[in-house]
Amino acid sequence: MHVLVTGAAGMIGRKLADRLARDGALGGTAITMLTLTDIVEPPVPSGFSGSVRRVTTDLAAPGVAASLVSTRPELIFHVAGVVSAEAEMDLEKGYRANLDGTRALLDAIRCVGEAYRPKVVFTSSCAVFGAPFPETIDDDFHLTPLTSYGTQKAMCELMLADYSRRGFLDGVGLRLPAVCVRPGPPNKAASGFFSAIIREPLAGRETTLPVSEAVLHTHASPRATVGFLIHAAGLSREALGPRINITMPGVCCTVGEQIEALRRVAGDAAVARIRRAPDPLVETIVAGWPHRFDAARARALGFVAESSFDEIVRIHVEDDLGGRIPD
């Protein structure tokens, strides 16, 4: 099997490529080739016995998507895109990366011809939903995004569903909650503070909290997120039905509850490294996001997330800190 991963230099893309390389197979079929692409060079995953092709390019540029699918990868994980606050601050960049790149990819697949119908797993976002919200967002809630990022993701969901309906590809879109705890340097996501208030104190660094501790949100770890992608790749068209975009499960908690989970795992000294610094832009963006999801359909289809935020903190320690909290 040939697998293509877009956005392979990003955090989720890297962890996904590592998981694919480590497993070496999907659904009992051996992975013989990995094509990894991003606007910066993706790292080579270790321990993979097959071929690895790395392509450093802009997916939205003319001809790039056609070149990537010319070798007919059977499975495509479309993870590429820019994050929420960046898409809000730079309208043109957000639409180019999130919408134009996706359409270029889907059209390139369509133009290969009827004999080619790959599985496409797309990372969407719960930002496709917009206020006013009920207490819990169920699987039938309407898409009325209140940010450019959410709008771009909603448009891509509709395109993915339409191209799947017309038989050009076999798509599934995953509406991800906040992915937390993200390792590495901070990115430009408005949700970045959810990770920073855990990651930075655990590393012995101070960080800022731009919103109230009462802010409520739903989270899944990078490990669970990669698990969502792998699981989605194995879902049949019959299991999915016509509604191919699915809200993923996660742990719903307040920022204050996140901080208390950090305290239980790492103690008072870690919590003391969080400094309150309200940011009106971040507060406005976060206020337009949904908070709690039922995700009954995803759970019925076999998607699994963590059961507590303590577990999410411990996964970060295990996966990204070598199993121990630095002194």
Residues assigned a catalytic role: 149
The candidate with the shortest Cα–Cα distance to 16, out of 179, 227, 185, is 227
Q: Which residue has tokens 């390139």? A: 108
> E strand or H helix at 319, and its extent?
helix 309-320
> E strand or H helix at 157, and its extent?
helix 148-165
CA angle 314, 320, 324 (to 5 degrees): 60
In angstroms, the CA 281 to CA 193 distance is 13
In angstroms, the CA 200 to CA 215 distance is 19
Q: What is the signed CA dihedral for 180, 181, 182, 184, rounded to 10 degrees?
A: 170
> E strand or H helix at 296, and its extent?
helix 296-300
Tokens of 236: 């049949």
CA 72 to chain centre: 24
N- to C-terminal Cα separation, the chain: 44
